[in-house]
Structure 1
Amino acid sequence: MKTHFIAIGGSAMHNLAIALKDKGYQVTGSDDAIFEPSKSRLEKKGILPEEMGWFPEKITPDIDAVILGMHAHQDNPELARAKELGLKIYSYPEFLYEQSKNKTRVVIAGSHGKTTITSMILHVLNFHQKDVDFMVGAQLEGFDCMVKLTQDNDFMVLEGDEYLSSPIDLRSKFLLYQPNIALMSGIAWDHINVFKTFDDYIEQFRKFVASITAGGVLVYNEEDPEVVKVVENAENYFRKIPYKTPEYEINNGKVYLKTEMGDVPLSVFGAHNLLNLEGARHICQQLGIMDEDFYEAIMSFKGASKRLEKVEREDKGILYKDFAHAPSKVKAAVKAFAEQFKNDKKYGFLELHTYSSLNPAFLEQYDHAMDGLEEAIVFYSEDALKIKRMDPISPEFIKEKFRNENLRVFTNAEDLHAYWNTLDKTDGVYLMMSSGNFGGLDLTK
């Protein structure tokens, strides 16, 4: 099968391209910019475009599938050529469905926790050498590629994202998967540049539940009232399995899960991660993994990339980085950090740089998000606001919306870096929350 990727360099797209190459497909692609690690990984597989840019001549009548990434625009010249030739154009999730429509599809959805839960499930399955197809949005220890597609595997585990499928397909990605087994971890308004109201956002999850196949299974977080409402109001037939935060305790900085089989030591911390773990356990039950086997495997799970991930520093200072940027994720990460390091001075840094997080109307959602930290710092770039053509935001406005008078606010990367350099990283513990890089800050030094 001959496939062509428009915007092959994306974190999800390049993994799919590699998976198809490994499956024996003929793979080509284009992009206007490709960064690491995508660049090296594509080059290693021999599918890195020779030249950056869009080349309509690459689109030929013998292509079986054109896969369109979100990075491309509606007026992309390669897309126009594909339409002209009448080629089949797939969004990323649409193509994944085509690859898995004869398998049992397990879809993990939710505003927060979906990457970690999917990673936990895959870690447990890998530990017990149970082979499945999968797609997950973060790098996971023990896996070379975060997409796997085979002819023979019976199951496919998919991280289900509520964001748009492609520039020409404005459905939420997870609506294309039609799960046989699903999980919903929580609902907290996000992506307000696309979903203008909270009800618009919740509607995507209503549709997701409605897309579960007849007689399927939904594992859901019974501690989230929005999730419970969506589940209770669903009209289609499926089996409902609720879950909640399990009992645990912290002894000498180590988290222990309380189970009928005794205390299980864990390498992750935070009530939200224990909640994620419980959801993963219920999904693994559906895949034939007994609780005893689940606990044996989960002890060695160290977390998904950038999800409360410990950074090894030259000075041995204690620093964790987290992908958290949406309000619910920030609050969960800060709460977990405060509980885990209650006797230490806690520094928390948050970078705001998504459209949602820089929207004045949305900033209300960060109310008290940084409470529990002795030092709370927010960074956003005034230049980024100009690039996004957004109105200026004052540091005072940020402090007001966070309801934190002691909040330090930086709007210039150089000033932030200068402050960072004044801190003794061996004094206290540090939590760095961003889907960016704090203007190029090196967290290892």
Structure 2
Amino acid sequence: MQHLVTLHKNKNLGDYRDTWLTSAVTASLAQRRQQVLGGTYRLFYDEPVEVASASGVWVTDVAGTRLLDAYNNVPVIGHSDPEVAAAVQAELLRANSHTRYLDREVVDYAERLLARFPAHLDRVAFTCSGSEANDLALQLATHLTGRRGIIVTEHAYHGTTAAVRAVSPSLVTLAGVADYVVTVPIPRDGSDAERAQEFAAAVDRAVAELCRRGLEPAAILVDTALTSDGIFAPAAFVSEGIRRAQASGALFIADEVQAGFCRTGQWWGFEHLDVAPDLVTLGKPMGNGLPIAAVVGPAASFDSFGAEYRYFNTFAGTAAPIAAARVVLDRLGANDTPVRVNALGERLRSGFAQAATDAGVGALVRGAGLMVGVDFAVGGVSPSRAAEYVRELVNELRRREVLVSHTGAHGEALKIRPPLVIDEAEIDELIGRFAAALLALPRLAGDAA
């Protein structure tokens, strides 16, 4: 096991110190993990993080080092929130049964959640994960339309069940998607109008291809921040393409698992679009780390499906995770969160852009709210070379006690999604460490340079 001890200069503090980034104990734990957990699991970073505790936007490792978490969007109101913990404990000590019994807290939460949606989206079905939510949404779409064809973006991720894995090219590659799936590329260049036209034309071709295969489209399933495609938020340019898919008879499923709950500076990512969803899926941040997700849609859609099929999930919508979700909904609603997130996101994006300019590194900073992508495949740099650089940058930031990851078809973009409780001082700290990391790496140049 490598990287047991690393000596480095922390340029933010200006001093040298021995930093036990991955201790011998952590290395031993990693080896033990490898011997008991299945090969499907992955560890982030060359120097894995062994978490001792976490609070707010900070993760503390077993050596006592505090790491600025700019990646984890699940603890949307902060790690280890005491109000969430107290609410969950109270329900576990009261009753945590299933949805075949009446529970006032579950119904109260459903009413308050639906109040955040357009009037036509007036029913909710709970699941335990975003994967399950997208799976159920696909079941609804194929039942309601009597069709099988699905349109997704070219590097989409929608989950890990068999059904949603088959529509997730980021997992199975373009060649591995199901034969009833057609993918559409995300335009990278041009004006908003040009990109909208290009995306709409790609959707037209996808509809035609499905029909050629004898599979009319049942749904166009879109992550409304285009997170796995490289973060192209706000994604208003996809609106016309989605409308054309709807005109062909497909339902628009807005995947809000990553974009929802104020992440993009609106309650829902689809609010940036000029088209109404037929179904909406929720997940990740909904319970601040508790397993709860959902599908939201019209009563008629659920009634039609429910008349023919049952959907029951033993652990979905039980009182304990609902209690966590209630705290999240209350906190986001009480703090004027969208306005705050937009201001912080603008501060972060402008700071990152200036840091890249100062370092002489070509980068395109995209995003909405605190969903931010930094794309390095610009200025003659190929996506594969940019991906190599991003991998180095992610690990350099890890050494500088910042947690981030990558996204995009090649991994060419940095992915930034901090808990929404991050404040201005922490945003500035993140910008400073990003700037130092850029200066520490060899300068990124075009492939021909």
- Compute the TM-score of the two structures, normalised by the length of structure 1: 0.27
Q: Which has the higher strand share?
A: 1
Q: Which has the higher helix share?
A: 2
- Select the structure with the greater relative contact order (CA < 8 A; seq sep ≥ 6): 2
